[in-house]
Amino acid sequence: MKVLGIETSCDESGIAVYDSDHGLLADALYSQVELHQKYGGVVPELASRDHIRKTLPLIKKVLEKAGLELGDINGLAYTAGPGLAGALLVGASIGRSLGMALDIPTVGVHHMEGHLLAPLLEDNAPEFPFLALLVSGGHTQLVEVPVLGQYNLIGESLDDAAGEAFDKVAKMLGLNYPGGPLVAKLAEQGNPGRFKFPRPMTNRPGLDFSFSGLKTFTLNTVEDHKVDGVIDEQCKADIAWAFQEAVADTMVIKCRRAFQHSGMKRLVIAGGVSANIRLREKLAAMAKEEGGELYYPGLAYCTDNGAMIAYAGCMRLLAGQQDDLAILAKPRWNMETLPALTNS
């Protein structure tokens, strides 16, 4: 089955074709980062309008790359949520209409399921069951995944998502949007150990996270080290290092706990922040200590992309799931309500 995937939930238009027999055939991404950069974050209305401009040309490009015609596609998957309502509506309208015009089964995919399953596109794919740490711009969640399609939430952030915290710290340090990769790059120049930031919510039981206190701690450190309103570059790098280290250590502590509570041995990390090399290193070391293994998507498939939606959609369509003619756009959508897929 060849499935066309359409992702437009935020500031990236991502298109891909996934073939259940031959894997990923082609994909393409258009990032709106430059459009939003001058506003310091995503402007929803601008995002929707740009998805309208870019989605159809990208679909044509991906079909060409794959050497396919529209008529060769036999399944359609689009991101139905969660995300920005207007942005979702663009992909959903195009996806559902194409599905109807081509008379092929169509499914609205949960964006976080897409992220979570992205490591299954890799050669070294995890088997079920596994634990998943989903860390993106909008979510920080620990999920137990007993079988394909069933997601039991065992921990989440009570306030900011990890990616959001990275983006806000980037702003404090005068870096551009999206800040995560830039904070990570700056941290490479940082002196380890100059600052020690708190590891929030780690000295009490439970698997929930909180990043707003760490964010305030970071802001106070920035303010305390300004001289005549300016902070020097080395100090910025030292702060970036301490912040990244605190986030990574916090995740290591919670994931170790989740390993020990669940008895599972496989941990998947996915979502934009899973591109963070320091986080990967630390989680991989912890997983090894616990006798387990860490799995993650290739760097290009950590942040939003069409391949993860085509793949997740393909799994659901193969299991016989498909939607009626409604155009689904659910800005808020709980993953735990998704139907498990029985053919896993």
Query: Binding residues for Zn ion, per CB under 5 A?
Result: 136, 304
Residue 132 in contact with ligand KG4, rule: CB under 6 A:
no
Task: Report the first-to-last Cα separation within the chain, whole angstroms.
Answer: 17
DSSP one-letter code for 276: -
Nearer to ligand KG4, 17 or 240 (CB): 240
14 binds, among ligand KG4, Zn ion, none (CB under 5 to 8 A by kind): none
| Phi, psi of 126, deg, nearest 5 | -75, 150
Contact residue for ligand KG4 among 44, 129, 146, 181 (CB under 6 A)? 181
Per DSSP (E only), the strands in 247-295 are 266-270, 293-295
Nearer to Zn ion, 134 or 237 (CB): 134
Whether 152 and 143 have beta carbons less than 8 Å apart is answered as yes
**Dihedral sign for Cα atoms in the order 40, 85, 110, 120:** negative
Nearer to Zn ion, 136 or 140 (CB): 136
Residue 272 in contact with ligand KG4, rule: CB under 6 A:
yes
178 binds, among ligand KG4, Zn ion, none (CB under 5 to 8 A by kind): ligand KG4
Name which of 190, 162, 164 is nearest 178 in CA terms: 164
Shortest Å, Cβ 303 to ligand KG4: 3
Q: CB under 8 Å to 128, separation ≥6 — which residues?
A: 145, 146, 147, 148, 344
181 binds, among ligand KG4, Zn ion, none (CB under 5 to 8 A by kind): ligand KG4
Using CB under 6 A as the binding criterion, the count of chain residues that bind ligand KG4 stands at 19
Structure token pair of residue 180: 């995560």
Shortest Å, Cβ 190 to ligand KG4: 14
166 binds, among ligand KG4, Zn ion, none (CB under 5 to 8 A by kind): ligand KG4
Shortest Å, Cβ 290 to ligand KG4: 23
User: Which range touches ligand KG4 (CB under 6 A), out of 60-68, 163-171, 254-262, 323-331?
Assistant: 163-171
What x-and-dash track marks residues 3-32 binding ligand KG4 by CB under 6 A? Answer: -------x----------------------
Shortest Å, Cβ 100 to ligand KG4: 27
Q: Greatest CA separation found in the chain?
A: 66
Contact residue for ligand KG4 among 99, 119, 138, 306 (CB under 6 A)? 138
- The C-alpha atoms of residue 317 and residue 321 are separated, in whole angstroms, by 5
Q: How many helices (H) and strands (E) does the chain have?
A: 10, 10
Shortest Å, Cβ 179 to ligand KG4: 5
Footprint of ligand KG4 on residues 199-238 (CB under 6 A)? none
Shortest Å, Cβ 228 to ligand KG4: 30
Q: H/E element holding 141? A: strand 140-145
163 binds, among Zn ion, ligand KG4, none (CB under 5 to 8 A by kind): ligand KG4
Name which of 37, 23, 26, 30 is nearest 7 in CA terms: 30
Whether 133 and 126 have beta carbons less than 8 Å apart is answered as no
* Beta strands 293-295; 106-110: pairing state: unpaired
